[in-house]
Structure 1
Amino acid sequence: MIYALLNQKGGVGKTTLSINIAAELTRLKRKVLLIDADPQGSALAWSNCRDEPSFTVVGMAKPTLHKEIDLLSGDYDDVIIDGPPRIAELAKSIILASDIVVIPLLPSPLDVWAAAETVDLIREAQVYRDDLKCCLVVNRKIANTAIGRDVRKALKELEVPVLKSDVGQRVAFPESMATGSTVLSGWNSKGAKEINKLVSELRRIK
């Protein structure tokens, strides 16, 4: 399965989620490839400071990704693509290369509006790929806040499935990333459980 994490807005946690999702799939005995398709190269930088590599990370921020994905993905059970913000041509290629596009967003009105731009790109691609799936995931949710509760109501306007598995605002995510690790490595059991649930829900999408 090829999962792309994509949003035209930056700062929504695409790279952090991509890495943690890849780590969880690896824990489940899947052979995983993470493609860093963001010219900023944050996932590659993270991989360079890992002590014990458990999955492969490669860089390919090219608008021909959808034409080359088969050459890269043949030996893997799952591929995760970490997409860039604000590069429409590259985003379109990533969408065409994917089976499921996951749109992370923060629980804020600005993020809901930005997610709509990505949804529009996906709907354009679905004209050619009617089997292409997409979903939204609420990231960095702050518990017991009105905006955290209300974001799902706002997202209904996009008419795109919203995963039930929210990911909370937890310091363990940036702390683990800084050391080339993930929340699955014992940094925070709540964060690990959130990633477990998120991946389980993603794998049920057909």
Structure 2
Amino acid sequence: MPVIVSFMPLSCAFVNLKPGVGKTTSAVWLAHALHELGLSPLLVDGDPAASALRWSELAGGFPFPVIALPVGDVHRRVNDFLGNRQAVVLDAPQMEDHPRITRSIMRYAGEWIVPVTPAPIELDRMAPILGEMADVQSLRAEPARTAVLLNRTNRPDATRTGPDADAREALTERGFEVLNTQIARLDLYAQSFGNSVQAKGSAYMDFAEELIERQDEA
């Protein structure tokens, strides 16, 4: 099935107030999925810890460029590295510790993805991010699309019952759009740091295709 991409590059940022929610894992796997779909992505590591860049080094290099930009004016610099690439994936640091960097990344990206584990404590942490999103939206010429990615779920597919479905419903009631794709809790993802990634057949390939559809609809 051919991929249809609009003239604007797909730009997606993974953001959250807290660390340890799977932002880097999601960014790396999504970038590989986009690469396998032929979109020649650029992966921007905005975290001062440089986890995505280190992953690439340990894996012997990714088949696409990875740049470190842990700076407060990311939105002004990314296009200097973009060239003719059709997608940009941005790994933001936790907003509670690095608000300036994260907000700059959000000013650039057309899509903000919030990875969330379907656990009560994680859902309780979601309320403040709506205010942060509203503040950054006011700085943009055009509003960004926003969505939650259910991550480390109990089941690989969305279900109508059980804790994953309860989390989806709770987030929707709080005003979040939840992506159809969800990422199961699998060793394939959890233990992939530093290794090469093959996204074909994984949930991240479904995730990439859903983002492309959202881009085309927009």
TM-score of the aligned structures, taking structure 1 as reference length: 0.89
| 1:171 equivalenced with 2:187 (yes/no) | yes
Shift of 1:183: 4.6
2:139 to 114, 122, 128: 128
**2:51 paired residue number:** 42
Deviation digits for residues 60-102 of structure 1 (CA, Å, limit 9, x no counterpart): 1111111212212233211100011122121111110111111
Shift of 1:25: 0.3
For the 8 Å contact 2:62–2:196, the answer to whether it is kept is no
For the 8 Å contact 1:173–1:182, the answer to whether it is kept is no
TM-score of the aligned structures, taking structure 2 as reference length: 0.85
**2:154 paired residue number:** 142
**1:83 paired residue number:** 92
**2:103 paired residue number:** 92
SS at match of 1:29: coil
Shift of 1:176: 2.5
In 1, the alpha carbon distance for the partners of 2:212 and 2:130 equals 21
Question: What count of residue pairs does the alignment treat as equivalent?
Answer: 199
**1:181 paired residue number:** 196
**2:68 paired residue number:** 59
**Structure 1 gap segments, 5+ residues each:** none
2:176 to 131, 148, 160: 160
**Structure 2 gap segments, 5+ residues each:** 1-9
Shift of 1:172: 0.8
Q: Which stretches of structure 1, 4 residues or more, deviate above 6 A after TM superposition?
A: none
For the 8 Å contact 2:45–2:69, the answer to whether it is kept is yes
In 2, the alpha carbon distance for the partners of 1:183 and 1:108 equals 28
SS at match of 1:176: coil
For the 8 Å contact 1:6–1:103, the answer to whether it is kept is yes
